Amino acid sequence: MNRMRRLLLTGLMLCLVGPVYAQAQEIVIALGSEPTTLDPQLREDGGERAVNDNIYETLMARKPDGTLLPGLAAAEPRLLDSSSWEVKLRPGITFQNGEPFNADAVVYSIKRIIDPQFNSEQMSFFNTIKDAQKVDDLTVKVFTDGPDPILLSRLYWMKIVPPSHSKDAKFAEKPVGTGPYRFVRWNRGQNIILEKNQAYWGDKPQIRKVTYRFVSDPGTRLAGLKAGEFDVITNLLPEFKDQVPKAIHVMGLEFPIIILHADAGPTKDVRVRQALNYAVDKKALAEGLFEGFAQISPGQLLSPSFFGFNKDVQAYPYNPEKAGALLKEAGAAGVTVEVIGTAGRWLKDREMVEAVAAFWDKVGIKSKVRIFEFNEYLNRLFDRKTRADAIFVVSSNELMDADKSFSAYYKAGGIGSSNTDKELASLIDAARTETDPGKRSALYHQAVKRAHEQAYFVWLLNIEDVYGVSKHVEWAARVDAKMLVGEMTVNK
């Protein structure tokens, strides 16, 4: 009788523990914005990346500390001559719909994203890549427009898509990759659900299912984490770090800036642009808004560890008196400056825009703040025809090299630039193809100095990535800000 009772009790325990453990293999991540698309090659959208980084993969990968290593490539690509590389591919990999991962898929993906008619917002990552060619099923040649010293970093960012499925009209709603998680469904305005790819070629992830919720309000994300509704939340407000089960933070790649229109409007005058820099108390932003989880940006979209960083260029000091004098000298005292922003996508994004506008108002500017929903905000950021006097953006440089930021935001014609400075563009073009590190560094140093003198931006901060995490989840934040669910585990 005792033995029978023990067996019954054991069975009952298994019935109870089994479902609890199964549920523990599911997590919910709260994002600040809903993806605008799930096409991984189309937009420059952090919400899209947060999801698609788990569905799609790239030829090169990075360790959490940023070290490059082969991903879908079987080995590090080999330089054949000054403008061509050979990439060997891993065998036996398929996309989640059964399409083969091979040279055809890689060539197709490269040609797709660099096609001007495709009009990818990610072109600043890939603008040196000219073409790709199949050698055999597992070998590809990649051709660049002259020498490209950072091609491996570019290949770390380019997601490989399935040639057939990506032509489907609903591809942007139903992604298919080679990664550890597969797409289940997208409930617009509510959530996106992924499940473990049981046929994944690499190390199998522990977590079975992940649901992404879209919660723009940081207080609501916090409340959801504390209530056990969420397991990971992005952009945890620093003042709430002691209220969550675990706060994880790492010095990130994100630089909040204000792009100033140098070709039209009141900001066309360099004295006005300089005044807008002197007017902002960046130390107050770092300490007041971020409670020390940020550093003052040294007048450039680069960290000291990035290639091209110019240690001789520093932040514009806070000097409201000088700002006022420059505005008066330029005949711009009392002018209206329109500044565009968004809310919920980045940590304290609305607050930063409003704080900067308040500093400007104190020196005699009439700030006109306009906050847009993220999709419309992106349209205004990347469409030069609708470019405002000033537009807020948080620039992240996952290539960890000056080329990415400078091609996108500094160079005339760049997707986020607001200047037509031919001399600056020439320096950037020369640096992009210079293979001598010393000469290349010197070119970027000149570019940094010129852009700083011309005040093409209001440089603000370098902010840390701050996450709130439940007590059940173990995870170490990455320097590249990728949220790879395959690196997360849950306690039983």
Residue 149: give its domain's CATH number.
3.90.76.10
User: What pLDDT score was predicted for residue 140?
Assistant: 98
Which segments of the chain have a pLDDT < 70?
1-24, 492
Q: What is the pLDDT of residues 263-301, one digit of tens each?
A: 999 999 999 999 999 999 999 999 999 998 999 999 999
User: What pLDDT score was predicted for residue 44?
Assistant: 87
User: What pLDDT score was predicted for residue 88?
Assistant: 98
Who contacts 478 (Cβ-Cβ below 8 Å, separation ≥6)?
62, 64, 66, 250, 484, 487
Q: Is residue 101 part of a domain?
A: yes
Do 427 and 283 share a domain, yes or no? yes
User: What pLDDT score was predicted for residue 251?
Assistant: 83
User: What pLDDT score was predicted for residue 24?
Assistant: 60
Do 86 and 203 share a domain, yes or no? no
Q: Is residue 206 part of a domain?
A: yes
In contact, 253 and 49? CB cutoff 8 Å: no
Instruction: Supply angle C-alpha 93, 99, 100, rounded to 5.
Output: 40
CATH number of the domain residue 217 falls in: 3.40.190.10
Do 101 and 150 share a domain, yes or no? yes
Among 110, 139, 163, residue at a domain's last position: 163
Q: Is residue 192 part of a domain?
A: yes
Do 104 and 130 share a domain, yes or no? yes
Do 308 and 240 share a domain, yes or no? no
Closest CA to 58 of 98, 96, 103, 106: 106
CATH number of the domain residue 313 falls in: 3.10.105.10
User: What pLDDT score was predicted for residue 59?
Assistant: 98
Do 229 and 156 share a domain, yes or no? no
User: What pLDDT score was predicted for residue 397?
Assistant: 87
Q: How far apart are CA 409 and CA 328, in angstroms?
A: 28
Domain extent, residue 194, equals 26-35+179-245+470-490
**Dihedral sign, Cα of residue 280, residue 285, residue 286, residue 287:** positive
Q: Is residue 277 part of a domain?
A: yes
Do 299 and 228 share a domain, yes or no? no
Count up the domains in the chain and report the number.
3
Do 322 and 186 share a domain, yes or no? no
Do 135 and 228 share a domain, yes or no? no
Do 323 and 393 share a domain, yes or no? yes
Among 111, 137, 163, residue at a domain's last position: 163
Q: Is residue 209 part of a domain?
A: yes
Among 130, 163, 196, residue at a domain's last position: 163
Q: Is residue 232 part of a domain?
A: yes
Q: What is the pLDDT of residues 86-100, one digit of tens each?
A: 999 999 999 999 999
- Distances from the Cα of 72 to the Cαs of 67, 75, 151, 183, 270, in angstroms? 16, 9, 15, 20, 47
Q: Is residue 11 part of a domain?
A: no
User: What pLDDT score was predicted for residue 23?
Assistant: 54
Q: How far apart are CA 110 and CA 126, in angstroms?
A: 9
Q: Is residue 301 part of a domain?
A: yes
The structure's pTM equals 0.77
Do 278 and 327 share a domain, yes or no? yes
Do 256 and 212 share a domain, yes or no? no
